[in-house]
């Protein structure tokens, strides 16, 4: 089968959508399918094109057997509504202009967010006369409304119309949570048109018993209990909760908080850390994916946090799968579907979102109880191995595509 995949993000970018797309596409290629990914020059989240790449009109490369086409887009940091919108729209327009030059395929997949990347699948469907699968990793425009990024009612109505339009025109929809499916069904989408393929993890990459941590890294963190947050520093994550917990635990010299990543809120969080004089908080820039198993290995517990919002009860942050695969207990500040997963797995402690006192207490509880710490880690690895092996999920996904082709 010949598959065309439209995605705003792709390696060497290291965010969750880039990883999900790459791991699915790599598996499909290994199974004998031809996969072409259409993306942009890697630049997330700082809006600077990575070394070794150029923001050209049209360029090609091969990554693990995947044919990758990179198109010109308006490159900008992941901050500022207007510039980001121009970035997203420029990708959709670039795809439309590139359609005549794209290969013949049997099916097209587009993934959203970003919103206009998802919509880009529709013109490809029309011109290539192939089925269109719309993958939904986050609910737009609901998610941007929740964090207050858009307040103009006219713009909101337009986005809601486009959301409904995309749901109607897609041949099949693949959301990443059961709650997303329920949301779509309430909006009138047929349940038979929707198949949930949740996020997962490459268990061969995240193998805690085989990670060799560099001596310099191991020595730097060996004397402390490390509570780590890895990922986007954005409006949705309310990372000041971590700083407030760190302030509560100033007297515990053995406990440190490690934050790795970038995003629109990074500068503000760093400034707040300095204002509070928090020497027990370490902030590092985004790291290469190849380094992440080492950072997981020197961590003792994983922090997964979002703002307190009904919308975020529908999401499953992808970090939970990596945490479990690396046997790292989780302190979860997210309600809803992902909390049910944590309860089922026994892989950690759930707290109220934005509750710094509960976060501090949970960190202390695990730091002072190594038996519970180890038990949570082992349970997490067992759970994710049973239900969220990325290769198994990719196999289910390809069956959807095969059914559409027939």
* pLDDT per residue as tens digits for the range 300-344: 999 999 999 888 899 999 999 999 999 999 999 999 999 999 999
Sheet holding 255-260, edge to edge: 281-284, 255-260, 225-230, 301-305, 330-333, 348-350
For residue 89, pLDDT beyond 60: yes
Section 359-387 average pLDDT: 97
Give the per-residue pLDDT at 19.
Answer: 95
CB 381 within 8 A of CB 348: no
Give the per-residue pLDDT at 82.
Answer: 80
| The two three-digit tokens of residue 261, written as one number | 């990543």
Q: Is the peptide bond before 88 cis (omega within 30 degrees of 0)?
A: no
Give the per-residue pLDDT at 138.
Answer: 86
The whole-chain average pLDDT of the chain stands at 93
Section 92-101 average pLDDT: 97
CA distance 304 to 318: 9
SS3 214: coil
Task: Work out the number of other CB atoms within 10 angstroms of the CB of residue 356.
Answer: 21
Section 22-29 average pLDDT: 98
Q: How far is CA 276 from CA 71, 241, 246, in A?
A: 43, 13, 10
* pLDDT per residue as tens digits for the range 137-173: 988 766 665 555 566 677 777 877 888 899 999 999 9
Task: Work out the number of other CB atoms within 10 angstroms of the CB of residue 290.
Answer: 10
Section 264-289 average pLDDT: 95
Rank 41-45, 239-243, 308-312 by mean pLDDT and report only the highest: 239-243
Can you list the positions of beta strands (E) in 225-284? 225-230, 255-260, 281-284
Percent of the chain surpassing pLDDT 90: 81
Helix (H) or strand (E) holding 178: helix 178-186
Q: 84: Cβ–Cβ under 8 A, 6 or more apart, which residues? A: 76, 78
- Residue 120 class from Cβ within 10 Å (0-12 exposed, 13-18 middle, 19+ buried)? buried
- Residue 82 class from Cβ within 10 Å (0-12 exposed, 13-18 middle, 19+ buried)? exposed
Give the per-residue pLDDT at 304.
Answer: 98
Give the per-residue pLDDT at 147.
Answer: 53
b/e per residue 215-234 (b: at least 16 CB within 10 A): eeeeeebeebbbbbbbbbbb
CB 20 within 8 A of CB 199: yes
Q: Which fold has domain 2-200+389-405?
A: Rossmann fold (3.40.50)
Give the per-residue pLDDT at 146.
Answer: 59
Give the per-residue pLDDT at 215.
Answer: 87
CA distance 49 to 45: 10
Q: Which of 136-145, 206-215, 256-265, 270-279 has the lowest mean pLDDT?
A: 136-145
- What is the homologous superfamily of the domain 208-387 according to CATH? Glycogen Phosphorylase B; (3.40.50.2000)
Helix (H) or strand (E) holding 169: helix 153-169
Residues of the chain with CATH 3.40.50.2000: 2-200+389-405, 208-387
Helix (H) or strand (E) holding 217: helix 215-221
DSSP tag of 209: G
Section 214-221 average pLDDT: 87
Percent of the chain surpassing pLDDT 70: 96
Give the per-residue pLDDT at 148.
Answer: 57
b/e per residue 122-147 (b: at least 16 CB within 10 A): bebbeebebbbbbbbbbbbbbbbbbb
CB 114 within 8 A of CB 137: no
* pLDDT per residue as tens digits for the range 163-214: 889 999 999 999 999 999 999 999 899 999 999 999 999 999 999 999 999 8
């Amino acid at each position: 089968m010949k598959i065309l995949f439209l995605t705003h993000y792709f390696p060497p970018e290291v965010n969750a959508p880039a990883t999900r797309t790459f791991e699915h596409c790599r598996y499909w290629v290994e199974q004998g399918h031809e996969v072409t990914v259409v993306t942009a020059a890697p630049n997330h989240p700082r809006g600077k094109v990575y070394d070794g790449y150029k923001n050209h009109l049209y360029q090609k490369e091969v990554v693990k057997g995947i044919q990758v086409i990179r198109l010109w887009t308006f490159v900008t940091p992941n901050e500022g509504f207007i510039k980001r919108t121009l970035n997203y729209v420029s990708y959709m327009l670039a795809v439309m202009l590139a359609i005549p030059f794209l290969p013949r395929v049997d099916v097209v997949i587009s993934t959203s967010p970003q919103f206009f990347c998802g919509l880009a699948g529709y013109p490809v469907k029309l011109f290539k006369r192939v089925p269109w699968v719309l993958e939904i990793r986050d609910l737009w425009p609901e998610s941007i409304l929740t964090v207050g990024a858009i307040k103009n009612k006219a713009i909101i109505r337009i986005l809601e119309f486009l959301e409904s339009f995309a749901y109607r025109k897609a041949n099949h929809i693949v959301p990443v949570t059961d709650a997303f499916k329920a949301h779509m069904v309430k909006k009138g989408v047929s349940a038979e048109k929707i198949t949930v393929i949740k996020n997962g993890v490459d268990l061969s990459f995240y193998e805690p018993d085989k990670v060799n941590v560099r001596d310099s890294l191991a020595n730097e963190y060996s004397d402390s209990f490390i509570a780590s947050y890895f990922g986007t520093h954005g409006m949705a994550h309310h990372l000041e909760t971590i700083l407030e917990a760190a302030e509560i635990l100033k007297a515990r010299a053995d406990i440190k908080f490690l934050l790795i990543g970038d995003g629109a809120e990074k500068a503000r969080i760093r400034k707040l850390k300095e204002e509070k004089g928090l020497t027990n908080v370490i902030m590092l820039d985004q790291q290469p994916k190849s380094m992440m198993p080492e950072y997981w290995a020197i961590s003792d517990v994983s922090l997964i946090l979002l703002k307190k919002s009904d919308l975020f009860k529908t999401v499953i942050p992808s970090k939970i799968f990596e945490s479990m695969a690396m046997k790292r207990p989780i302190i979860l500040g997210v309600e809803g579907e992902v909390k049910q997963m944590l309860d089922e797995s026994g892989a950690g402690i759930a707290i109220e979102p934005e509750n710094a006192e509960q976060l501090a207490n949970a960190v202390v509880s695990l730091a002072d109880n190594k038996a519970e710490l180890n038990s949570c880690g082992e349970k997490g690895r067992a759970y994710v191995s049973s239900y969220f092996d990325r290769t198994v999920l990719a196999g289910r996904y390809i069956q959807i595509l095969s059914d559409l082709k027939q």
